[in-house]
Structure 1
Amino acid sequence: MPANSHATHDPRRRRRTTRLLAVTVTAVTAGALAAAALPASAGEKGHGHQQGRYQDVQLLSFNDLHGNLEPPAGSSGRVTETHEDGTTSTVDAGGVEYLATHLRQARKGNPYSITAAGGDMVGASPLVSGLFHDEPTIEALNKLDLDVTSVGNHEFDEGAAELARLQNGGCHPTAGCYTDKEFKGADFPYLAANVLDEKTGKPVLAPYWVWKKNGVKVGFIGVTLEGTPGIVSAEGVKGLAFKDEVETIDKYAKVLQEQGVKSIVALVHEGGYPASSSYNYDCDSPGAGDGVSGPIVEIAENVTPQVDALVTGHTHNAYVCTIDDPAGNPRMVTSASSFGRLYTDTTLTYDRRTGDIARTAVESANHVVTRDVAKAPDMTALIGKWNALAAPIGNRAVGYISGDIGNTGTESPLGDLIADAQLAHGRELDPETDVALMNPGGIRAPLAYAASGAEGDGVVTYAEGFAVQPFANTVNLQDLTGAQLIQVLKEQVSGANEAAPKILQVSDGLTYTLDLTKTGADRVVTGSIRLNGAAIDPAATYRVASNSFLAGGGDGFTTLGQGTNDVVGSDDLTALERYLTATTSASAPLAPPAADRITIVR
């Protein structure tokens, strides 16, 4: 189906399940057979079926907000749109002032409306939220009338105790209260069905929640990816066990069924990769290829048919697809990109007679959070309040650049800059430091040349640096043998990272070739690895700097967790700030690095 014109940014293209489905999954009654025979428009009004039996329930959803209260900058604040003629363009999107307006407009005329999210509402947040341990984002989500969300991996960045505080309220244990009012916590439940306390074996937060209105009941089960411990610091997941997503969802779907809740939505913080980067890509259209791939496909194919739809996230991609459930029936699977740039509007047609969703009538579409609507005044006031508190810190200049320093590509200019900054900090701690390594997932935003405030073009503020590195990881030093260093580089493209490589950003002096025509660890050409022009000696000892997440073996780099002679330095943002302050000035700004340390063969 073609998109509408770029001028409207609102294609209203809706994916609809097209096969005839049984309305119940536990028994096939005469009523269920009648429902299964309904046409695809069964959930629409005015088509002659019995008045009052079918009720359209609107499900608005989004995911991976990451505390982006203000409109994200650069490419992080745009989405790609495909037009009728096949051309594409980008649309500026995001910002909770606009998200609130769009959601409120979407709810009009929909008395049965639920708003749900797929995790990572907080964590890796810009300064206006991250500086205050994401209390501003929770306040904003309360004002957005969010009903429920799953946890994501970033909800555990500061550990289970801090997540519990975001849920229940109270002042931060070390920072205290930021205003004269105690933080009240989330008005909505965080669901963590597959995150267990290792001591009790019970979920750390509620596993499910049921929305009810006038006899209509819809259950929600929330899970995060089982692999969360591999992408969160060890301290953040200490004492927690992360269980299989499918087994957990099936377990609680059965519990809900036993409670008489037959309409079920899974909020899954795990995602996929669509065949197109356009938000309005029709992945169910003929000739669309695989439509969507990645971990969410296996989950969707195996989760019990009792679940009627999956709201997903984590990969920051946009898709609205149907994936067959284990019974062979199509089921809606959605994701709304990230940073509040999109929201998904799904219509679930509820059958009052059976209490289940008539999946023949499920419709869904992603919509752009455009910035051509009025800002929500309450959100403007909220952002203004917290920005006023953050301004004395955030507006401080820490360095100067002569152009945009991006964070895209196998090797990025910003990745090189951060690695160089950590190498410099490592040498402050130990002059014998040889090399620094930076994980690409820890780089959360580019450095833009254009001024975002009154500081002037080319000025890097503390707030901009915070947006780049918001995790407060420390810069750690450790000794690795040459053989271990080579193995670390091979772990970029093998083991846990073979299917989805994680290419480390490397400091000046380390060079090698990455041959993408090969497979597995062979993609790193061992004989090409050089440090300051000399081949790596497998028997020698090298002093390596990396952030504490990597130094603990995060992101599948298990060999980095085997280093010795550890030294813990300052946090990574401080390292970047010191480097920019020491090496740049208004008259001598830093040029974007060339990103030429890794030679790519394709």
Structure 2
Amino acid sequence: MPAKSQAHQRRRRRTHLLLAGAAGLVTAGTLAAALPATATADETSEKHGGGHTYSRYQDVQLLSFNDLHGNLEPPAGSSGRVTEIQHDGTTKTVDAGGVEYLATHLRQAREGKKYSITAAGGDMVGASPLISGLFHDEPTIEALNKLDLDVTSVGNHEFDEGARELARLQNGGCHPKDGCYTDEGFAGADFPYLAANVLDEKTGKPILKPYWVWKKRDVKIGFIGVTLEDTPGVVSADGVKGLKFKDEVETINKYAKALQRQGVKSIVALIHEGGAPASTAYNYNCDAPGAGDGISGPIVDIAKNITPQVDALVTGHTHAAYVCTVNDPAGKPRMVTSAASFGRLYTDTTLTYDRWTGDIARTSVKSANHVVTRDVPKAPDMTELIGKWNTLAAPIGNRAIGYISADIPNTGTESPMGDLIADAQLAYGKELDPETDLALMNPGGVRAGLTYTAKGSEGDGVVTYAEGFTVQPFSNTVNLQDFTGAQLIQILKEQVSGGNASAPKILQPSSGLTYTLDLTKAGADRIVVDSVKLNGAAIDPAATYRVATNSFLAGGGDGITTLGQGTNDLVGADDLSVLEKYLTANSSAANPIAPPAANRITVVSQ
């Protein structure tokens, strides 16, 4: 197809330029050998050749972001804001995000930088708004091509539709079921997806490239890409069928050695795993006195154990913002960054490349997160791309499916949006089986809230199909299962124990289910068993309860394994159609639905 050949031409042109730029020039090893033996680390020496002058040290700009999730248009509500610390110590929120603005910011940041790389930390696609998700994220891949993304790791959401669909996003081709959406077809990604720790169970080999080397003249930097080892715990079973996910540290250390053997001594790890910063402000000083590491969570142990051969870590997954140093196994500080999510931030890191050693002078590494503000000109090519795909999506996306009286946010331990979805699934469950007692919704499946004043509206509280799709984009089915009361209590305990002890996965409860969550305690003891009630009555351990969940939870997702042990299964419709049905039946322009009070879980924190 024409678009395919054009994409291949872009790839060949990029490779040709990199190789041609190095042809006939002095290599890093030759340069080091030619330098005076008496030269010291802080002297700057130059080598002339081919009309070029090289200093010992070369600053390389690394621009990075993560967890875009197909957010091409500016995210709405709190999803489109970041918190910023002011000079006087107060904070304010700043509207941020939108690929039209991200493109402008990245292009401005690259100005005057002869050595610049753009990399990402995974979850570029998946759980996407309608403009991208409706078309299996082809629009996002097109946008990333236009952003001149050089390389990205895979994230867990790259597996939402399975390894074959991920391969199609990489290599191009029309969707096997839906076909081609445009006359040009789909050319695939101009950049490599890296999946070093994702192996084919049959072959034992990575399903995509494990690493990639960026080269310009005599400067070369290797990138290793991994996703979290627990990807099977946060993705549906169908999405990871036939795949094996290996330990992040072991994998990165393995390929760092491989790169070293090839003479690549400057290495960046792209890791789709992250942590929680001590502050939600993007410009919080992680390394301030008394701040410790500045972050907690899985990425800290990973960072502390990855070989010192790796010079910087670009991370993601937790949607948090941080620029911190964490000591490597040799006790040397190493930069660890994350740029929140949805294209609201980008990270600008300066890697100082030492031509004598071929390595990064780590003491010179500088990094900072920057807001993708909306006060810059929109990138015209992105505006055109968004317009093209919105035109195709409009007949479906603009359809009204309900009305709300105020914002229904997706925030807090128990969110109003999560409760609304649980109520919708309980109502649907009762239609399928009047004996249905309650519903539980996983928090990660609630991707956004509903805003009263949506894009292009006049504050009339209309909920469109596109907004609903943004809230629930996974196409999970709503399933019914039977559990004993004892199993139900165990399910609640598993939210806050085992693998969920450090980062609880609080299930959103339907109306009628109430209990107390005591955060002053640890593990399963956080669930106050005597407080768990259904419609005011204590849970009977021996009784049977009919529970509605989505198919992800019904398979034991989010580490809540008891949910995978239900009986008398009944598979229903997809979750978005269930939400639409509930909104349509329970709201109108004259009687819009109000946000749930989110008072079903009593949280004790002191």
The amino acid across from 1:182 in the alignment is G
1:559-597 alpha-carbon deviations (Å, 9 max, x no partner): 000011111111100000000001111111101111111
What are the ranges of 5 or more consecutive residues in structure 1 without an aligned counterpart?
A: 1-23, 43-49
The amino acid across from 2:582 in the alignment is Y
1:27-63 alpha-carbon deviations (Å, 9 max, x no partner): x999999999549x99xxxxxxx95221111100000
The amino acid across from 2:157 in the alignment is H
Change (3 A) 1:528 1:327: same
Q: CA deviation at 1:236?
A: 0.4
Q: Is the 8 A contact 1:406 1:446 kept in 2?
A: yes
Q: 1:188 matched to which residue of 2? A: 191
CA distance in 2, matches of 1:38, 1:504: 56
**Pick aligned residue for 2:571 from 557, 568, 572:** 568
Q: Is the 8 A contact 1:207 1:222 kept in 2?
A: yes
Q: 1:237 matched to which residue of 2? A: 240
Q: CA deviation at 1:290?
A: 3.8
Q: CA deviation at 1:451?
A: 2.9
Q: 1:478 matched to which residue of 2? A: 481
CA distance in 2, matches of 1:411, 1:294: 21
Counterpart mapping for 1:499-538 below 5 A: 499-538=502-541
Q: CA deviation at 1:504?
A: 0.6
Counterpart mapping for 1:17-28 below 5 A: none
Q: 1:18 matched to which residue of 2? A: none
Change (3 A) 1:141 1:453: same
Change (3 A) 1:36 1:498: farther
What SS does the aligned partner of 2:487 have?
A: helix
- 1:202 corresponds to 2:202: no
Counterpart mapping for 1:332-343 below 5 A: 332-343=335-346
Counterpart mapping for 1:78-89 below 5 A: 78-89=81-92
- 1:360 corresponds to 2:363: yes
Q: 2:15 matched to which residue of 1? A: none
The amino acid across from 1:461 in the alignment is T
1:198-236 alpha-carbon deviations (Å, 9 max, x no partner): 000000100000011111110000000001110000110
CA distance in 2, matches of 1:273, 1:532: 36
CA distance in 1, matches of 2:114, 2:440: 52
Q: 1:12 matched to which residue of 2? A: none
Q: 1:382 matched to which residue of 2? A: 385
Q: CA deviation at 1:502?
A: 1.1
CA distance in 1, matches of 2:470, 2:39: 51
Q: Is the 8 A contact 1:275 1:289 kept in 2?
A: no
The amino acid across from 1:379 in the alignment is M
Q: 2:218 matched to which residue of 1? A: 215
Q: Is the 8 A contact 2:99 2:343 kept in 1?
A: yes
Counterpart mapping for 1:311-326 below 5 A: 311-326=314-329
Counterpart mapping for 1:426-437 below 5 A: 426-437=429-440
Which structure carries more helix by proportion? 2
Q: Which of structure 1's runs of 4+ aligned residues deviate more than 6 A?
A: 28-36
Q: 1:21 matched to which residue of 2? A: none
Q: 2:350 matched to which residue of 1? A: 347
Q: CA deviation at 1:325?
A: 0.7
What SS does the aligned partner of 1:236 have?
A: helix
CA distance in 1, matches of 2:421, 2:553: 14
1:387-439 alpha-carbon deviations (Å, 9 max, x no partner): 00000100000001100111111111111110000011111211111110001
CA distance in 2, matches of 1:367, 1:60: 10
Q: 1:277 matched to which residue of 2? A: 280
The amino acid across from 2:392 in the alignment is L
CA distance in 1, matches of 2:57, 2:192: 28
The amino acid across from 1:184 in the alignment is A
What are the ranges of 5 or more consecutive residues in structure 2 without an aligned counterpart?
A: 1-27, 46-52
What SS does the aligned partner of 1:499 have?
A: coil
Q: CA deviation at 1:70?
A: 0.3
CA distance in 1, matches of 2:94, 2:380: 23
Change (3 A) 1:333 1:66: same
The amino acid across from 1:101 in the alignment is T
**What is the number of equivalent residue pairs in this alignment?**
569
1:284-304 alpha-carbon deviations (Å, 9 max, x no partner): 122334411111111111100
Counterpart mapping for 1:282-301 below 5 A: 282-301=285-304
The amino acid across from 1:534 in the alignment is A
Q: 1:489 matched to which residue of 2? A: 492
Question: TM-score, normalization: structure 2?
Answer: 0.91
Change (3 A) 1:214 1:596: same
Q: Is the 8 A contact 1:38 1:360 kept in 2?
A: no
The amino acid across from 2:89 in the alignment is G
- 1:449 corresponds to 2:452: yes
The amino acid across from 2:200 in the alignment is D
The amino acid across from 1:571 in the alignment is D
Change (3 A) 1:161 1:32: farther
- With 288-297 and 464-473 compared, the bigger mean Cα shift is at 288-297
Change (3 A) 1:32 1:182: farther
Q: 1:169 matched to which residue of 2? A: 172
- With 112-121 and 589-598 compared, the bigger mean Cα shift is at 589-598
Q: Is the 8 A contact 2:297 2:502 kept in 1?
A: no
CA distance in 2, matches of 1:29, 1:421: 70
